[in-house]
Structure 1
Amino acid sequence: MQYLAQNLKYLRLRKRLSQTKLSFKIGIGASSISAYEKKRSTPKLDTLLKFTNFFNRGLDELVLTDISAQDKEKLQDTKGDKLRILPIVVDDQNEEMITLVPVKAAAGYLNGYSDTEFISELPNFRMPFAELSENKSYRAFQIEGESMLPIPGGAYIICEYVQDWELIRNGSCHVVVSTEDGIVYKRIQKDLDNNQFILHSDNPEYSTFEIGLNQVLEVWKALGYVCFDLPSVQNKD
């Protein structure tokens, strides 16, 4: 239990939770959480498992590893100074095409996002819109679910590649590609001091969640969307 107390406090504060809020979320008394963090008490195994499940950390990691130091060693390059491979497809005039990632290709994209051959096998097209610059890279992601209503599931989000994550504007919409959560379309709040993004849904029925930067593969700024789900006509009495 060498690092348990400091790890519990570190992980709780990283999620911006008070002891009372954490207590409500996982069903452990706030006074007990306080005692664990101050080394006045040691949790039983079933309680430890509640912590590991909530924080998504292994049991050995929670009790035997200094997680804060470990996370600092894994700090992600937020400015994009290190090489990030972004394969593109060009047409016969050597002009860059827009790659479409439909829902059915989302799982494959997590493995093939840096593979030129995989990207070339996806649908690729051009859009003659003045809002799209020739000097930037674009991709279209089809989303599913209702977390970002009024944009419906099945819509295609037209995105611009983000190399420097520090330029992301808090509250702006982005497609985030990560090893943990796959492809998600959310509003981003940066928390670079804690090496994470906080992702928000426009639909209040969906919870906010955090994602570590070391899990993030790509970030794409949303510019617009294409939708084939036209609104129905409202009857006027």
Structure 2
Amino acid sequence: MSLFGKNIKKIRSVKSLSQQAFADIFDLKRGTLGAYEEGRSEPKIETIIKIANYFSITIDAILTKELTVNQLFKFRGELEGNHDMVIKKKFTEIPCITFEDHNNYIKLASNTNFINDLTPITLPINSDKKLRAFVVNNLEMSSENNGLFPKDIVIGEWTSKNDYEKITRPDVFLILTKEALLLKRIFASNNEFILRADHAGIDESILPYSEIIELWHIKYVFHNRVPDIKNSQVLNKLAFLENEFKKLKDSL
């Protein structure tokens, strides 16, 4: 006895079809289909071919192999038409500044067509903020085996000039000026930022607010490796404490 009856019963279950609905598709009587499923009778070869072709299942498979639910989901035919089985969500598309776009971005950041042509990355981020992605291209924000390394991707939220004074934590920002695109940790100080790298040996610099064209507060990081999260958190806390000490010193 073949496995035809057991397989078509499983197909009906996957498709949520009644015996009558399934029988109507193939011009069968409900009682005849029930007999197939219960193994009381075998179908004609024409019926086997019709059902196998409809669901793109080989005749050998439908007769001799007990089909699994996972296999049935892979078959074409009417199974593909059941779009209710898949719930599609629209993720956020973010323009990404790649290695190749770095220099052009400095010149064309205000050009809408250029921004629209940047390589987009799609991520499950729910944010109504203006976002920009950036592929890290140097070791300036690395510290030993921690921090940001080339090929890591950071995503920043737009920071308006009106909010510069509200920046109190020494977080990492992507900064665009007329001459450079920088990824630095910033410290606010009287209408200017002190820019620092996490990598030892790189001198800090001063950047007046007036020279900043774009400022993106890094909110998300996608590492090209598995980072040491614990040590990264320690470094961030040390940077915060250093900033607090500096503010205290300036106030004395």
What is the TM-score normalised by the length of structure 2?
0.48
Q: Which residue is equivalent to 1:116? A: 112
Q: Which residue is equivalent to 1:146? A: 139
Q: Which residue is equivalent to 2:169? A: 170
Q: Distance in 2 between matches of 1:159 and 1:175?
A: 7
Q: Distance in 2 between matches of 1:120 and 1:96?
A: 14
Q: Which residue is equivalent to 1:212? A: 208
**1:126 alignment partner, SS class:** strand
Structure number, greater radius of gyration? 2
**1:184 alignment partner, SS class:** strand
Q: Distance in 1 between matches of 2:166 and 2:99?
A: 28
Q: Distance in 2 between matches of 1:145 and 1:190?
A: 24
Q: Which residue is equivalent to 2:82? A: none
User: 1:96 deviation in Å?
Assistant: 6.3
CA contact 1:177–1:184 (8 Å) conserved in 2: yes
Matched residue type, 1:166: E
CA contact 2:173–2:215 (8 Å) conserved in 1: yes
What is the TM-score normalised by the length of structure 1?
0.51
Q: 1:162 to 1:101 in 2, by over 3 A?
A: same
Q: Which residue is equivalent to 1:183? A: 181
CA contact 2:159–2:217 (8 Å) conserved in 1: yes
Identity of aligned residues (%): 23
User: 1:94 deviation in Å?
Assistant: 10
Query: Which structure 2 segments of 5+ residues have no match?
Result: 1-88, 228-252
CA contact 2:91–2:123 (8 Å) conserved in 1: no
**1:104 alignment partner, SS class:** coil
Q: Distance in 2 between matches of 1:144 and 1:98?
A: 18
Matched residue type, 2:187: Q
**2:115 alignment partner, SS class:** helix
Matched residue type, 2:164: W
Q: 1:113 to 1:94 in 2, by over 3 A?
A: farther
Matched residue type, 2:95: T
Q: Distance in 1 between matches of 2:168 and 2:150?
A: 24
Matched residue type, 1:188: I
Matched residue type, 2:96: L
Q: Which residue is equivalent to 2:195? A: 199
CA contact 1:99–1:123 (8 Å) conserved in 2: yes
Q: Distance in 1 between matches of 2:121 and 2:151?
A: 18
CA contact 2:134–2:154 (8 Å) conserved in 1: yes
User: 1:227 deviation in Å?
Assistant: 2.5
CA contact 1:187–1:200 (8 Å) conserved in 2: yes
Q: 1:113 to 1:95 in 2, by over 3 A?
A: farther
Query: Which structure 1 segments of 5+ residues have no match?
Result: 1-92, 232-237
CA contact 2:92–2:123 (8 Å) conserved in 1: no
Matched residue type, 2:200: P
CA contact 1:96–1:137 (8 Å) conserved in 2: no
Q: Distance in 1 between matches of 2:186 and 2:164?
A: 11
User: Which of 222, 227, 236 in structure 2 is aligned with 1:226?
Assistant: 222
Give CA deviations for 1:201-225 in whole Å, capped at 9, x if unaligned.
1112211111222221100001121
Instruction: Output the aligned Cα RMSD.
Output: 2.2
Q: Higher helix proportion, which one?
A: 2
CA contact 2:91–2:122 (8 Å) conserved in 1: no
User: 1:168 deviation in Å?
Assistant: 1.9
Over 4 Å off, 4+ runs: 93-96
CA contact 1:140–1:157 (8 Å) conserved in 2: yes
CA contact 2:134–2:153 (8 Å) conserved in 1: yes
User: 1:141 deviation in Å?
Assistant: 0.8
